[in-house]
Amino acid sequence: MGFSADAFGRDGPTAAELDEIIPDRSAILFDDGAHSAWVNTKTMQEAGITKNTPDPIPGSHFYKRDANGNPTGWLLESQTFNPVLKKLGLASPDSVKAGFEDIALLFSYMGITSVYDAGMNGFEKEAYAALKDLERQNNLPFRIVSSYIVQSPAQVPGALKELKYYHDNYSGKYVHPKVLKIHNDGTVEARTAALYEDYADDPGNKGATTLPYDTLEKLVIEGDQAGYDIHIHAIGDRTITEALDAIEKARQENGIGKNTHTICHDVMFKSWMIIASNALGRCMFSHNPHQSGR
């Protein structure tokens, strides 16, 4: 993990380039924002990614393709690479716990007592099982406020039911599933953040939101009404505007309660501060200059 997507230009890295280094076994690398994956030919073969594989969410979560429509090896956004991770068996409760040990030790040294996990990238089943085991074994040294993450329109109908399931079955002294995370666009470096104008180096591409606005608004209103905190990933100016509008609508419909809503990353952040403070009441903004996908 950690390669710079910007270093490859708008066409991104290719499987052929990675094949020169790792030709004989599967390889998958994530960019520094964790919003795109670079895979070799072996990985695409094992995952069944071909010219005929449809894009999971056209324009938002998609396979970069050459002039003939063949996937090049650059996978944009989670719905393209999460199935690859599952196909290759790269996430399990045991692997989550193993990776957790060093982080837990580091956080303890730094005096951190509470963290927020902004979504488990579609691996809630594995991650919550690991957290439950860690808590049961008294090996969880800090509190975790956690999320259920929506990364596709297909998840919307059951999203609140899913969050309630994790809240009801995994809440404990240290684990608190209480946030609905909506991953509503990508990143600037992957050119998947939703803008009002074309990317300067990619004419015709404005990026795209994951959810149509009407779907987003309805989900935010219902999540707010259910008493959950809402966390919206929004980097592009269009996505930020739609997030603000949806939260404002929820406040109008439901009033201002105790739950806190967050718009995270906010690359176009400064120009919207006055609008937000006037419109939204209890709302938080989280800016990460590195545009981390988490």
Task: Supply the pLDDT for residue 182.
Answer: 97
Q: Return the exposure string of 41-68: e unless at least 16 CB atoms fall within 10 Å of the residue's CB, then b.
A: bbbbeebebeeeeebbbeebbbbbeeee
pLDDT of residue 28 exceeding 80:
yes
Domain count of the fold of the chain: 2
Residues 133 and 246 in one domain: yes
Instruction: Read off the pLDDT of each residue in 216-244 and give the average, rounded to a whole number.
Output: 96
Instruction: Read off the pLDDT of each residue in 112-139 and give the average, rounded to a whole number.
Output: 89
Instruction: Read off the pLDDT of each residue in 142-162 and give the average, rounded to a whole number.
Output: 95
Residues 29 and 169 in one domain: no
Instruction: Read off the pLDDT of each residue in 122-139 and give the average, rounded to a whole number.
Output: 89
Residues 280 and 163 in one domain: yes
Kindly indicate the confidence band of residue 280, based on its pLDDT and cuts at 50, 70 and 90. Answer: low
Task: Supply the pLDDT for residue 292.
Answer: 35
Q: Is residue 98 part of a domain?
A: no
Q: Is residue 29 part of a domain?
A: yes
Domain assignment of residue 54, given as a range = 5-87
Kindly indicate the confidence band of residue 268, based on its pLDDT and cuts at 50, 70 and 90. Answer: low
Task: Supply the pLDDT for residue 284.
Answer: 56
pLDDT of residue 223 exceeding 90:
yes
Q: How far apart are CA 284 and CA 262, in angstroms?
A: 5
pLDDT of residue 164 exceeding 50:
yes
Q: Is residue 101 part of a domain?
A: no
- The DSSP output letter for 199 is B
Q: Say if residues 61 and 76 touch (Cβ distance below 8 Å).
A: yes
Task: Supply the CATH number for residue 145's domain.
Answer: 3.20.20.140
Residue 258: other Cβ atoms inside 10 A: 7
Question: Sign (positive/negative) of CA torsion 14, 15, 16, 18?
Answer: positive
**pTM summary value:** 0.82
Instruction: Read off the pLDDT of each residue in 175-201 and give the average, rounded to a whole number.
Output: 92
Residues 186 and 248 in one domain: yes
Residues 165 and 277 in one domain: yes
Residues 25 and 133 in one domain: no
Q: How far apart are CA 76 and CA 36, in angstroms?
A: 5
Task: Supply the pLDDT for residue 6.
Answer: 84
Q: Is residue 171 part of a domain?
A: yes
Kindly indicate the confidence band of residue 293, based on its pLDDT and cuts at 50, 70 and 90. Answer: very low
Task: Supply the CATH number for residue 63's domain.
Answer: 3.10.310
SS3 sequence of 116-130: ECCCCCCCHHHHHHH
pLDDT of residue 290 exceeding 60:
no
Task: Supply the pLDDT for residue 218.
Answer: 98
Residues 82 and 174 in one domain: no
Residues 116 and 214 in one domain: yes
Higher pLDDT, 232 or 108: 232
Q: Lowest mean pLDDT: which of 26-40, 141-155, 275-289?
A: 275-289
Q: Is residue 103 part of a domain?
A: no
Q: Are strands 143-150 and 36-39 parallel, antiparallel or unpaired?
A: unpaired
Residues 83 and 112 in one domain: no
Q: How far apart are CA 21 and CA 172, in angstroms?
A: 46
Residues 170 and 55 in one domain: no
